[in-house]
Amino acid sequence: MAETQELEKQIIGEVWTSPEIYANVERLCDFGSRFAGTESERQARDFIRAKFGDYGLENVRLATFDYLGWTRGEASLHIAEPLHKKLPSAISLVYSPNTPPGGLRAEVVSVGMGTKAEYAAKGDQIAGKLVIANTDSPAHQRWVHRREKYGYALAGDAAGFLFVNHLPGMLPPTGSLRPGKLAEIPAVGLSYEDGFVIQRFLRGGGTVELEMRLTNQTGPTQFSHVIGQAPGQRDDEIVVVGAHYDGHDISQGAVDDASGTALVMELARVFAPLSGQLRRTIRFEAYTAEEIGVFGSTLYVNGMNDVDLGSIGFMLNLDGGALGSGRGLALQGLDELQPLFAGFTREMGYPLDLVNWVGTASDHFPYFMRGVPVASLFAHRPPGSGRGFGHTMADTLDKVSEVELRESAMVAARLLLRLANYEDSIGRRRSQDEIKQILLDHDLEESLRAQDKWPFE
């Protein structure tokens, strides 16, 4: 305990006084989007690998996978009826297929936020239409993910999918439709303002026809995660700490998730010198291909044999945990983690908000699905702000607060220190039946089925 406190002071002092963490965010943003398959992604990969080595991590390596890459082309959308009007904000969603050579012309049907109930209320009006759903999700209920909304459009035989920002001034959103594979129907993101133009004509039962033309490309390519570790005194309960370094192709992915990657790199920097001193080995993982449907880490984790996976005691995901006012941990429905982290929180004297959400759309999820105890750090954003500028072209370096970044790194470091030295097992592994039950308890079957991600009967 006294030893932990001494180490903690040393680590916090280092994080608070060093310019390294922000400099790393700058470098990651300067490479560009780091979107899977781009040159900027490869530059970031090499940069992280070199830094892991410089910081003194051991066994620094790449985990490389083949996959079907997707490259954005032109997108054009205009209202054809009741009057001709261009909707200039339209951008393809990731893995959108192309429209037929002559374009796609169809009527629009609005499904509000795009919940299952809203789709159901439209009945067979979905078939053959362009469905328009916004980025919002019902208050006080589980989050309805874009891929779920897209899945319902597909199930209703829609001709296409429009995903409209529900917040004014927040630009058109991007995001993936299917994990690592070409989606079935053309889909675009639209700004609130362009969405309003459509809604205005729909109001009062009017009919709106749109014409859409999308030209994107797919082709075989590769991606690589970057992995390194700081050895502990034992090797059988490794603590994994990870975040994704890829961003969306339309921005710098500064908040989502250069900032989370910089947290992982900062932890690597301050924990590498402690090699051999802590109880557990810490493994640092910088993933890519997260923004294409949590595809990268899914391939990686599903490719692990039982022995390798069995050596992992816990996974802490830092995606989205770097920037915001208060910080919290999402404990993924794993009850026994509540008293554990409540104890850490008391000891730290830091008001960490412990919630029991199960997140299915980031890199802890593949570990969770294989029964490994996981938690995900998050930072509070202003209520009602949704993803903020995440997934838009405004997710740029200017949104990154150096102070918040350092505070998150300190919180993450204090947690990691306790996880690495904890005397008992950190949580317990779950069987596939238990995982299924947690997902059912959290009302996630429908969502995962719509996304083609439900692996159970």
**Contacts to Zn ion by CB under 5 A:** 256-257, 319
SS3 42: helix
Contact 197, 187 (CB under 8 A): no
119 or 284: CB nearest Zn ion: 284
41 or 319: CB nearest Zn ion: 319
Report in angstroms how near the CB of residue 220 gets to Zn ion at its nearest: 25
37 or 156: CB nearest Zn ion: 37
Name the residue type at position 271: F
Q: Both ends of the chain: CA-CA distance in Å?
A: 47
Distances (CA, A) of 172 to 96, 191, 224, 388: 15, 4, 29, 12
Report in angstroms how near the CB of residue 452 gets to Zn ion at its nearest: 20
CB atoms within 10 A of CB 441: 11
132 or 240: CB nearest Zn ion: 240
79 or 361: CB nearest Zn ion: 361
Contact 315, 240 (CB under 8 A): yes
CB atoms within 10 A of CB 43: 16
Report in angstroms how near the CB of residue 457 gets to Zn ion at its nearest: 31
Phi and psi at residue 103, to the nearest 5°:
90, 170
Token pair, residue 9, equals 């002071």
97 or 321: CB nearest Zn ion: 321
Report in angstroms how near the CB of residue 288 gets to Zn ion at its nearest: 11
20 or 257: CB nearest Zn ion: 257
Contact 413, 263 (CB under 8 A): no
SS3 54: helix
Report in angstroms how near the CB of residue 274 gets to Zn ion at its nearest: 28
In this structure, what is the dihedral angle of CA atoms 247, 252, 253, 254, given to the nearest 10 degrees? Answer: 150
Report in angstroms how near the CB of residue 256 gets to Zn ion at its nearest: 4
Report in angstroms how near the CB of residue 446 gets to Zn ion at its nearest: 23
Q: Distance between CA 363 and CA 281 in Å, rounded?
A: 20
Token pair, residue 352, equals 């960490």
Report in angstroms how near the CB of residue 31 gets to Zn ion at its nearest: 17
127 or 355: CB nearest Zn ion: 355
Per the DSSP assignment, residues forming a β-bridge with 354 are 329
Measured CA angle at 223 (ends 217, 227), to 5 deg:
160
